[in-house]
Amino acid sequence: MKTFILLAAVATAVASPGYHFDAARYLFAAPGVEQSHRVQLMSDVDRFLAEPALSLNTPAALSRWLASYDSLSKRLNRHDVYVYLRAEANTDDHADETPAESEAVDSGVVQVVEDDADDRREDRKHKGLRFSRAGS
């Protein structure tokens, strides 16, 4: 019985076509389309990184900023996956700049959050409020 199941599995594997991922359907229709979208994305990244932490002074502003970060991260990942898959298919393709931009966005978010926390601490100090650490 085991032999029959093994032979059936091998026959099925040999008869079925290989795995195929349609990058044009799920990512970009052509490299030129990806590059034109990337130009717009890099402009959006620059605009996002230039936004000052002081503008995040309300919960709604912070929510919009985090949604923008989420959207940029997804778009950067989409470009990164596309470039990676193209590089795997074409070893002469070296046009990969989105990982560096992804890292810039991530570090920019960390910096803005840290700056905002520092600004809030300063505001509280000036209002006579002080932070105390647990156990102090």
pLDDT tens across the length of the chain (136 residues): 555 454 555 555 555 566 676 777 778 888 889 899 999 999 999 999 998 888 889 999 999 999 999 999 999 999 888 888 887 776 655 555 556 666 777 777 777 767 766 666 666 565 655 545 555 4
DSSP per position, 79-106: HHHHHHHHHHH-TT-----HHHHHHHHH
Q: Residue 43 domain-assigned? A: yes
The b/e string for 68-77 (b: 16+ C-beta within 10 A; e otherwise) is: bbeebeebbe
Q: Residue 52 domain-assigned? A: yes
Closest to 41 (Cα-Cα) out of 97, 86, 112, 111: 97
CA distances to 107, 124, 131 from 128, rounded to whole Å, are: 32, 6, 10
Q: Residue 82 domain-assigned? A: yes
Q: Residue 13 domain-assigned? A: no
What is the chain's percent helix, strand, coil content, to nearest 5? 75, 0, 25
pLDDT for res 136: 47
Q: Residue 7 domain-assigned? A: no
List strand residue ranges (DSSP E) for the chain, in order. none
Q: Residue 133 domain-assigned? A: no
C-alpha torsion angle, residues 98, 94, 84, 44 (rounded to 10): 20
Q: Residue 99 domain-assigned? A: yes
Q: Look up the pTM and report it.
A: 0.56
pLDDT for res 41: 92
Domain hosting residue 98, numbered range: 29-118
pLDDT for res 60: 94
State the total domains in the chain: 1
